[in-house]
Amino acid sequence: MRLGSAVVRGFQEEVLGFHRREGRDFPWRRTRDPYAIFVSEMMLQQTQTSRVVGKYGEFLARFPSWEVLAGARLGEVLEVWQGLGYNRRARGVWESARIVVERWGGRLPDEPGVLEGLPMVGPYTARAVATFAYGRPCVFVETNIRTVFLDRFFPGREGVRDAEILPLVEETLYRDDVRTWYYALMDLGAAIKARRGNAGRRSAHYRRQGRFEGSVRQVRGAVLRVLVGKGGCGVGDLAREVGREREVVEGVVEALEREGLVVREGERVYVP
C-alpha cells in the first residue's frame, strides 16, 4: 500500500495539529541526554507512563549517570525499581551501564544495530533511543503508534501485521522533527484508545496480558521485595513472608537465580 504525497501531508497535519492542541508532557521528553532517555525507554517497556513518571525521577536522582549506575550494586538498583515490575529490566539497565562505561567510555552509541546488543534491548527500544536521543530518523512501531495506523489505514481489518504497518510509518515519517513526530503519534494513539477503545486488538501481534493476582509474576515481585528489604533470608522464611507454598517459592527462586537477580547459598537467598 502506497499513500501518496497528498494523503501523507494531510495525515502529518492531522497528527501534528493534535499534538499542538493535546500533546502530553513527560520529563523524558524534555531532555536529549542519551542516559536519561535510555532509562525511560527501559522503564516504559510493558509499564504504563503514569507508573513510570515518579520512578524515572527517583531513579535519576539516585543514579544520575552511566558511571554512578555502573558502580552501584544490583540490589540498590532493584530497590529503586520496586513498583515497576519485570525486574529483569532493572538488571538490563544496570548491565548496560557497565557495558557503556567499560566499552564505550560512557557514551552510548547512536546505531540501533549496536544498541540491540545491550541486555533487554530489542528492535523497538534501540530505535526509540536512537531517535529520541540522537534524532535518527528510525522506523519503529509500538502500541500507541500501531493504534493510529490501524485506526486510520486499516479500518475494520483483523490480524494486521506490523510488516504491513511499517512501510506506512516510513512513508509518513515527518523527517523535519522526528522526535516530535513520534511523540505526536504516541499521544494520538493514547487518545484513540481512551475515546474509542483499543484498535490494537486488531493487530496480529496483540496478546492479552494474563491476570496478575495469584500469578508467578506476582510471586516473583513479592520475593524480590522481601529480599531487597531484608537483605536476604532463608527459603522457608521467604515462603512465610510471601504467603505461598514453599514449592512455589523454590521454583521462583530457581528462576530468579538463573536470571542473575538473586544468589542462593544453601538455604539462604539474597540479592547481589
Residue 36 burial (C-beta neighbours within 10 Å; 0-12, 13-18, 19+):
buried
Angle separating helix axes 123-134 and 178-196, nearest 10 degrees: 120
Catalytically annotated residue among 41, 164, 247, 265: 41
List, in order, residues 6 or more apart from 174 with CB less than 8 Å away: 12, 15, 16, 180, 181
Rounded to 5 degrees, φ, ψ at 265 are: -125, 100
User: Is 41 in the active site?
Assistant: yes
Q: What angle do CA 90, 66, 118 make, to 5 degrees?
A: 55
Angle separating helix axes 178-196 and 5-22, nearest 10 degrees: 80
Grid-cell match 541486555, residue found: 119
| Three cell numbers written together for 238 | 521467604
User: Identity (one letter) of the amino acid at 82?
Assistant: Q
d(CA 220, CA 255): 9
Three-class SS state of 125: helix
Please, are residues 150 and 122 in contact by the beta-carbon 8 Å criterion?
no
As annotated, the active-site residues are: 41
